[in-house]
Amino acid sequence: MLRKNPNGHMPSVAQSAFIDPTAIICGKVIIEDNVFIGPYAVIRADEVDDTGDMQPIVIKKNSNIQDGVVIHSKSGRRFL
C-alpha cells in the first residue's frame, strides 16, 4: 500500500519494482529498478529533520527488502 505522509509526499516506485500488497510504503520514499519489497515490510519517510526539511529514503536498484522489515529514520540520518 502506498500512502502520503503528513506533508503530502507520495512514494515514487519504478515500474520494474515488486511491492507485496501487504507492505506499507509511506511518504518521501524512492524505490529504484528491480527492487523486491516482501510481505508486511514497512518503509516510512514521514519525519522532518532539525531544520524542518524532509529527505527521501532511497531504496537502490536490485535491493531486496525481506518479509517484515521496518525501515524508518529521522530525515537526514543515514542507515545501511
Walk along the chain (80 residues) and give the pLDDT tens digit of each residue: 999 988 899 999 999 999 999 999 999 999 999 999 999 999 999 888 778 788 899 999 999 999 999 999 776 666 55
CA distances to 50, 58, 74 from 14, in Å: 30, 12, 24
Sheet holding 36-37, edge to edge: 18-19, 36-37, 64-65
Sheet holding 57-59, edge to edge: 12-13, 29-31, 57-59
The full set of domains in the chain, from first to last, is 2-72 (2.160.10.10)
Q: At which residue does the C-alpha cell 537502490 appear?
A: 60
Neighbours of 46 (CB within 10 A): 18
